[in-house]
Structure 1
């Protein structure tokens, strides 16, 4: 079995609209930290020098949003649902996130939106239409810009009809290697200014107010998939109680030994 990593990193050194901080406590500092805690909490004095090498363990402390790096958006992220109570990420069924998958090549589409007709044309080209509960991955090529400001402005998203087409087919998890499943902010605002149509504003996300589904945003490496179908994706979100999203390590499993190359 071949496993392909489809995840982008959480990296404090890259550019993010919401700053990521990553503080690392060294093993030596960890020993001192343990000694301080033992003294403060239990009144026990432990000399860090008694530990092998005077070290204990490292510790990472991060400050970031749940939408940093590859993550799964929960229905509660989209706003007030019309179908009932929208579930948080810790409430979603696990079997949504281990499913047969397909990848749709949108790398030739310019910055902006993709419509339902373009998705249908790609299904015809591939010779496969998503089946209920399949995971659909959108390969836009935007992951090449990860860590730069352009990653948040130069990408392709779904319009409302395209999102609803996938939901009509029974898809409940839609993924993209772009920053958002919707078009870039400036593109949506311009379309709204030109038309006055509120449907131009975050249509992919707002579709989740009427029907329950999840998005995987900020995927990567979709170009490494050797074929558009015939693989399984796992993208289990971290179980954050009451959260609208959770980080995920998304991977694809290919069973054909010939894929190992």
Structure 2
């Protein structure tokens, strides 16, 4: 029996997505006389629960295969930000108890609202520039949220939060399902698929309660 909490969202054709929807084809099928089922998927690097590497917004920065294990594996704090309407600020992070954490996940209203839809929501909760700078100034190396972008809705023209975090080498996790996760401290194991030289990749992630 394990206490591990799976915070990944399933990949399927009708899921919430950027750009093209994921698609797959069956290359071989037992039903057609083959010894096994074999499928081929066409998905974007930012599909499902995924990591943005610093190179996503900073040319020459670390790509997803160059992210250190120390950034994606270790103690992680889940912050309760369900009262935030749209943009997480520095003040919100301080009030939620982010101080002292190296890795943080934001549990917002997204997990039971925007994340559950198959189409992009009109509004969602994201991290604002003041919040992003607070994380950098306090030595946070990993930040994740429960929607397909960590950026707040009002900032998706210039993407300041991504620029601030990526410039500082902070790894970003997006599309984490935190609906069943209580705020508190956990051991996180996040393993991005090591697409060589690329800016992002699916990243299966689990949390283990710290005892």
Q: Do these two structures clear the TM 0.5 threshold for a shared fold by scoring above it? A: yes
- The runs of 5 or more residues in structure 1 that have no matched partner are 30-53, 190-199, 257-261
Post-superposition, which runs of at least 4 consecutive aligned residues in structure 1 deviate over 4 A? none
Seen in structure 2, the aligned counterparts of structure 1 residues 24 and 143 have a Cα distance that, compared at 3 Å, is farther
SS at match of 1:2: coil
CA RMSD of aligned residues (A): 2.0
More helix by share: 1
In the alignment, what sits opposite 1:197?
Answer: none
Aligned 1:4-83 pairs, distance under 5 A: 4-18=5-19, 19-25=21-27, 26-29=29-32, 54-80=33-59
Structure 1 residue 180: Cα displacement: 0.8
Give SS of 2:172's match.
Answer: strand
Which shifted more, 160-169 or 139-148? Answer: 139-148
The structure in which a higher percent of residues are strand is: 2
Number of equivalenced pairs: 206
Task: Assess, with a 3 A threshold, how the Cα gap between structure 1 residues 130 and 223 changes in structure 2: closer, same or farther.
Answer: farther
CA drift at 1:150: 3.7
Correspondence for 1:141 = 109
Contact 1:142-1:154 at 8 Å conserved across structures: no
Q: Does the 8 A contact of 1:155 with 1:179 survive in 2?
A: no
C-alpha offsets along residues 5-24 of structure 1, whole Å, 9 cap, x if unaligned? 11111111324342211222
Q: Deviations over 1:145-199 (max 9, x none)?
A: 4342144x42111111211111111111101011211112xx236xxxxxxxxxx
Report SS of the residue matched to 1:166.
helix
Q: Is the 8 A contact 1:68 1:247 kept in 2?
A: yes
Gapped runs of 5+ residues in structure 2? none
2:64 counterpart of 1:89:
yes
Q: Show the counterpart of 1:192.
A: none
Check 1:209–1:107 CA distance in 2 against 1; reply closer, same or farther (3 A cut): closer
- 2:160 is aligned with 1:157: no
Normalised by the length of structure 2, the TM-score is 0.89
* Max Rg structure: 1
Residue number in structure 1 paired with 2:145: 176
